[in-house]
Structure 1
Amino acid sequence: MVTEKAEQILNGAMPEFLQNGYACTSMDKVAKSAGVSKQTLYSHFSDKDGLFTALVERIATEKFNLVWSHPLEGQPEEVLRDLAKRLVKENINDNEYLCFVRLIVAESGKRPDLAQLFLKKLCQPAVIILTQYLQEHPELNIIDCEATARIFVGSLIHFMLVQEVLSGKEIMPIEEDRMINSLIRLIINQKELLTVISNS
């Protein structure tokens, strides 16, 4: 469990990492930003690597809880639309989170373990939960529920990355509702699409 003082340190570390990147952030800067002594900082986090790892885990866990703590109950079309809107809303309007994602991507070449930790705490459990929900609704006639869950989650992540992280909304804009509605139609009408493909 994260203590109040550790939380204070993490809050102070966040803007330092975002502004300076991982390599140029020092524990001295973090201590000053967090308003704690270096001794207090090192008593909670032994080094910068441990501090950044804790920050990655905290951000991923917080985002997961915001989006996926709501039970997936109800008719599939309504559930998927609500889930998609919540996933996009909780992320696309959070500039600090988007900047943190940029940082994770930037560091992923040198620190693939941190990127994997982010996926493990956020994307992997999301896919597991959605896969289970789809399996519980055989009326959808989904052949591969895990692949469909990955397509759903991955498409929304791609939408946010392209539109916001890569500034794609200026050169290839698309409305949020248009993206979500098309994605849901692909899943809900999967049986019909497969029938058309097999008969073509």
Structure 2
Amino acid sequence: MVRIKAGEVDRDNSVDKVEQILQGAMQEFLQHGYAGTSMDRVAVAAGVSKATVYSHFQDKEGLFKVLLEQLASKKNNSIFGTEPIEGEPGAILHQVATKALEQMINDKEHSAFMRVLIGESGRFPELAQICVRAMIKPVAETLTQYLAAPELKIPDPEATARILIGALVHFHITQNVMHGEDIIPMESDRLIDALTHLINKCAD
């Protein structure tokens, strides 16, 4: 017979509760926006008591921050993996850019969440800053570190990383978040091929 200690059960239940709360919070933020979401609504959506929500999250901003950080961590790991980036520059950058755009384009929840974030950023600039800190900064740092390799001969790796990220984010926002794919259509492969070509030119 396998015996489970009470503390282990408590930890498992705690993890499950947090996941329930985060799922409920995502549902509410997408439906009602940040301003329209309350901890009461989150509790109802998550199927837990308000006291349970507050036992894990101090306030709505803290809950939003954890949700965003979890989303960012999941996205970044799926794009870069957990090992250092190594390989031929053109192939690596093509692979990273393709994964990044696939993640953004195919994940409808991510697009919806970005609409909420952009829409609320005027009234709640700290939310946008959380996004930049949790989602954009780690990607920029990882790419900068890779592009700084001496053999690539890139004069300004940090600025180049910003250019790459900016092009991908702009594509995602104009095509998907703002529903502009029929107005300024472009295949994602064209963008990725052009970016890869630019980097290869720098590395030649």
Same fold (TM over 0.5): yes
- Shift of residue 183 of structure 1? 0.9
Does residue 25 (structure 1) correspond to residue 37 (structure 2)? The answer is: yes
Q: Which moved more, 1:74-83 or 1:60-69?
A: 60-69
| Aligned 8 A contact 1:64 1:121 in 2 | no
1:177-196 equivalence runs, <5 A: 177-190=189-202
Q: Which moved more, 1:19-28 or 1:61-70?
A: 61-70
Q: Which moved more, 1:63-72 or 1:28-37?
A: 63-72
- In the other structure, the counterpart of 1:9 is 21
- In the other structure, the counterpart of 1:124 is 137
Deviations along 1:20-53, one digit per CA (max 9) or x if unpaired, are 1112122222111101111211211232222222
Does residue 162 (structure 1) correspond to residue 174 (structure 2)? The answer is: yes
Which letter maps to 2:112? C
| Aligned 8 A contact 2:68 2:134 in 1 | no
| Aligned 8 A contact 2:25 2:46 in 1 | yes
Which letter maps to 1:151? I
CA distance in 1, matches of 2:169, 2:195: 12
CA distance in 2, matches of 1:83, 1:53: 25
Does residue 109 (structure 1) correspond to residue 122 (structure 2)? The answer is: yes
Deviations along 1:114-155, one digit per CA (max 9) or x if unpaired, are 21111111211111111111111x333211111111111111
1:10-159 equivalence runs, <5 A: 10-70=22-82, 71-136=84-149, 138-159=150-171
- In the other structure, the counterpart of 1:196 is none
- Shift of residue 178 of structure 1? 0.6
TM-score by length of 2: 0.87
| Aligned 8 A contact 2:151 2:203 in 1 | no
- Shift of residue 191 of structure 1? 6.5
Q: Which moved more, 1:120-129 or 1:45-54?
A: 45-54
Which letter maps to 2:69? E
Percent identical residues: 49
| Aligned 8 A contact 2:140 2:158 in 1 | yes
Deviations along 1:82-118, one digit per CA (max 9) or x if unpaired, are 0010111111100001111111111111221221111
TM-score by length of 1: 0.89
- Shift of residue 77 of structure 1? 0.5
Alignment RMSD (CA, Å)? 1.8
The ranges of structure 1 where at least 4 consecutive aligned residues each deviate by more than 3 angstroms after the TM superposition are none
| Aligned 8 A contact 2:34 2:120 in 1 | yes
CA distance in 2, matches of 1:160, 1:109: 20
